[in-house]
Structure 1
Amino acid sequence: MKYMPFTWLNTAGITSHHMNKYKFWSLKVAYSLLLLVVIVCSSMTNPPDAHLRRADKAYANADFAEAAEYYQKVLEKDPKNIQALYRLGISWLELRDPRKAKLCLQKVYELDPRFGEKVIVNLAEALHQNYEFEEAKKYYQQEIYSTGRADWNYVEVIRKRIDECNAGIALLAQPSVAQVVNLGATVNSKDVEFVPVLTANDTVLLFTSHQAPEGPEKICISRKKDNKWQKSIEYLPADDKKLGHAIVTVSPNGALLYTYNAAVGLRSYDQTKGSWVNPKPMPIPLSQLANETSVHITEDGTFAFFSSDRPGGFGGLDLYVSQRFPDGTWSAAINLGASINTAHDEDAAFVDSKTKTLYFSSRGHNTMGGFDIFKSVMKDGGFQPAQNVGYPINSPHDDLYFTLDCNRTSAFFSSDRPGGMGALDIYQIVLLEK
């Protein structure tokens, strides 16, 4: 369930609920090796100085903040150092600063067109993340032309990116549907915060926090006082401190708390005298020897909506529903079908029972990039085609784990968009009156 970097390298198929992010990292390995050959040949005639050595070490260790710091020092002495420019651009992409990434990668392309051909897709991604969709499309198309039919799967990935740019253009042309506000330092940090869960009439916020990329996950709590969220603290210690665990949801009656752990999957805790005890695995079919990463229980406790990559789905993670019988057992799971699920990933369901609306996150449909939040209304016994909830809730980045407050005047979600405090932050959505 850990949130990992390299968000700009994602392809079809994701994360865990918690984020096993699918990347097209593997598709870039060949390019990276080729670039490495160029770099090694160059360094034989121009031995790297201490700053370059330190920058390269930080880059290899995925410490992109330190890498960026030292590559900039290298460029102060040698503004045309292609290696430093390229890796600085990639570091800025990883640090979610697409504007700076674009400037570096454009310069690489201008200084050395042959080398620049290898970074076209990175430049396109920087433009894409910076909402420069039309310009990004030009470079994505150029990448397709240079690839040809040699790697058809990769071409399909790039075509999807073009589709995302087209969706972004269309979504930005629509009226704004909400204001999006970062919850600030009492909840968010330089690390990762995600999966907001509201309880106690929206006065308590539970969420997951961990140090990216390998720190243990922990469940935290923040309480609202004088209409402000207070400094968060750890809420439910994990059995395995090295791995930790992440919150998924709390049952409508507050009697059960659900968590996810990569080693054991979904579990439930019982509340006894104010404490959460007796962790036990979710029953079949909510847990079925596959990757079940999230679950949402409806307000009446009757239905469970969950994500799973079990065989027989549309691709990646799909959303399923199961009905609870009076004796506490669950019915066979039903796939929610083509109106909801795609060949990509669907995750993090939330159901508003009053309006019969399903909210979820998807990499498919008309996402503008990464995960977007979608909604679908149940009508005549089935779900209507999914609709993108629009900008600025969605972005070219990952936007997911949507949850409404009791009054349905605001909502909360997680996003790794630029301008946040860390790799993934929790935001509040203030819905605008129509």
Structure 2
Amino acid sequence: AFETFISKNPNDPLVKNANKEIASCKFALEEMRFPRMVEVRKLANNVNGLGSNYAPVKLGNDFYFTSSRPVSITGKKDVVKTDAGDVQISTKANPFINNLYTTKSDLKVSDITVKMMDLNLPKSIEVAAASFTPDGNRVYFTYWREREKYAIYTATKMDNKWSDPVPVGLEINSKDFNSSQPYVTTDGKFLLFSSDRSGGYGKFDLWYCALREDGTLGQAVNMGPTINTEDDERAPYYNTITRKLLFSTDGRVGLGGLDFFEAEGDLITWTVPKNLGYPFNSSKDDIYFTAIDDHGTKGYISSDRESSCCLEVFEVKKEFFNISGILTDCKTKLPLAGAIVTFSNIENNQKQTTGTDGKYTFRTDSKRPVKLLFAKDNYFSITKNYAYEE
């Protein structure tokens, strides 16, 4: 259908979108054929209750998330059910009031105690997507009222109680645009966020600003055209150890809805973002990654992949396997040092130089066909192809 549209309307502005959809279909087929080595498991407990449940974050033994779960009000219930017949939302009991919740319980058990975060909020205010400074004593979150712009607010913990929320400075907030989904880097030096403020490249872009020790902010800086597209970029997460940025966007080739992408850089210069593939991503919206280990191989995401309406919280674990060997001289049978070994598949190339032991090791996250090229001065080059048997 997309190809037919393009052939009949070659000069239509929507041709660009049609080409992206064609590329996305091809990408999805490839991902389903060669899925990533990622374990995805929905939290089977009170975290995923009625309404939307999303934007998880782990801080020590505390687990925080956002939920629009039912708030008791009077009136006749209006129940919406999933395709399987399970009650998902009662619109009379749940007026979609988003708030921050927390639990100290083990998330692997089915019955846990969840309570609303103790913030003093005015009536009709909604809050979401909390992020904490490394010491846990300051929290940032999205704050809004119906028919008003999204803003970022902050509160400070003193004597184990949270102060009244206050807006961050004009460096981020304005009545003329939305600012949302704050993320404090693990070193506490930067605040990342999503905004449709002027000076961007599309709808919602990713921005950052310096976060000083006294809580004041530097000027907002756009993350640039390598990251931002003409569509939406949402919910940034940045790992200061691996220098990798994870975010969600609907502006690139993907599986559908918002997909997770990953880029490596220093907030100024970035590699081209890479789609994290299936099953990290799904055909629906996938957003709000947060890590629970230093290198970001384990964490939580939010997705509506198993829901008819609402985001739910999932635990994710990236897995890898190694392709390794020992390169030897065909005559002496001794390990061959100083040889360049190139690993390549449809996605990228990796190179290593063998040491005195002749060993090489490459890590990959999917069982796709690969090619290994072995080269050294004064030796014939050898290419080995390895097809993955489905």
Among candidates 139, 152, 164, match of residue 278 of structure 1 = 164
Q: Counterpart in 2 of 1:340?
A: 227
Matches within 5 A, 1:140-159: 140-141=2-3, 144=5, 152=12, 157-159=17-19
Q: Distance in 2 between matches of 1:153 and 1:185?
A: 47
- Counterparts in 2 of 1:325 and 1:240: CA distance versus 1, 3 Å: closer
CA contact (8 A) 1:284 1:330 kept: no
CA contact (8 A) 1:218 1:237 kept: no
Among candidates 145, 154, 164, match of residue 24 of structure 2 = 164
Larger proportion of helix: 1
What secondary structure sits across from 1:194 in the alignment?
strand
Q: Counterpart in 2 of 1:186?
A: 46
Matches within 5 A, 1:413-428: 413-417=301-305, 419-420=306-307, 423-428=310-315
Q: Counterpart in 2 of 1:294?
A: 181
Unaligned runs of 5+ in 1: 1-138
Deviates more, 1:400-409 or 1:346-355: 400-409
CA RMSD of aligned residues (A): 2.8
What whole-Å deviation, never above 9, does each CA across 1:117-160 have from its counterpart, x for those lacking one? xxxxxxxxxxxxxxxxxxxxxx4556x379x6599466655544
Residue 409 of structure 1, CA deviation: 4.2
- Counterparts in 2 of 1:154 and 1:346: CA distance versus 1, 3 Å: same
Q: Counterpart in 2 of 1:266?
A: 152
Matches within 5 A, 1:126-275: 139-141=1-3, 144=5, 152=12, 157-200=17-60, 203-210=61-68, 214-225=95-106, 228=109, 230-237=112-119, 239-263=121-145, 265-275=151-161
After TM superposition, the score normalised by the length of structure 1 is 0.61
CA contact (8 A) 2:226 2:273 kept: yes
- Counterparts in 2 of 1:291 and 1:178: CA distance versus 1, 3 Å: same
Residue 262 of structure 1, CA deviation: 2.3
Length, aligned pairs only: 291
- Amino acid of the structure 1 residue aligned with 2:62: V
CA contact (8 A) 2:129 2:182 kept: no
CA contact (8 A) 1:347 1:361 kept: yes
Q: Counterpart in 2 of 1:367?
A: 254
- Counterparts in 2 of 1:191 and 1:286: CA distance versus 1, 3 Å: same
Q: Counterpart in 2 of 1:403?
A: 290
Unaligned runs of 5+ in 2: 70-88, 322-390
Matches within 5 A, 1:41-52: none
Among candidates 279, 286, 289, match of residue 392 of structure 1 = 279
Residue 342 of structure 1, CA deviation: 0.6
Deviates more, 1:363-372 or 1:167-176: 167-176
CA contact (8 A) 2:20 2:253 kept: no
- Amino acid of the structure 2 residue aligned with 1:232: V
Residue 375 of structure 1, CA deviation: 1.0
What whole-Å deviation, never above 9, does each CA across 1:305-346 have from its counterpart, x for those lacking one? 111111121101111121234665332222111221111111
CA contact (8 A) 1:189 1:421 kept: no
What secondary structure sits across from 1:168 in the alignment?
helix
Residue 178 of structure 1, CA deviation: 0.7
Larger proportion of strand: 2
Structure 1 residue ranges (4+ consecutive) displaced by more than 6 angstroms after TM superposition: none
Q: Distance in 2 between matches of 1:260 and 1:304?
A: 13
Q: Distance in 1 between matches of 2:138 and 2:267?
A: 31
Q: Counterpart in 2 of 1:63?
A: none
What secondary structure sits across from 2:179 in the alignment?
coil
- Counterparts in 2 of 1:242 and 1:271: CA distance versus 1, 3 Å: same
What whole-Å deviation, never above 9, does each CA across 1:238-296 have from its counterpart, x for those lacking one? 62343432233122210111221223611001101111112110113222442111111
Q: Distance in 2 between matches of 1:380 and 1:195?
A: 22
Residue 422 of structure 1, CA deviation: 5.8
- Counterparts in 2 of 1:248 and 1:163: CA distance versus 1, 3 Å: farther
CA contact (8 A) 1:188 1:422 kept: no
Q: Counterpart in 1 of 2:240?
A: 353
Residue 414 of structure 1, CA deviation: 0.4
What whole-Å deviation, never above 9, does each CA across 1:61-84 have from its counterpart, x for those lacking one? xxxxxxxxxxxxxxxxxxxxxxxx
Percent of counterpart pairs with the same letter? 26
After TM superposition, the score normalised by the length of structure 2 is 0.67
Q: Distance in 2 between matches of 1:270 and 1:302?
A: 17
- Counterparts in 2 of 1:220 and 1:170: CA distance versus 1, 3 Å: same
What secondary structure sits across from 1:171 in the alignment?
helix
Query: Quick check: which has more Rg, 1 or 2?
Result: 2
Q: Distance in 1 between matches of 2:54 and 2:34?
A: 28
Q: Distance in 1 between matches of 2:192 and 2:300?
A: 19
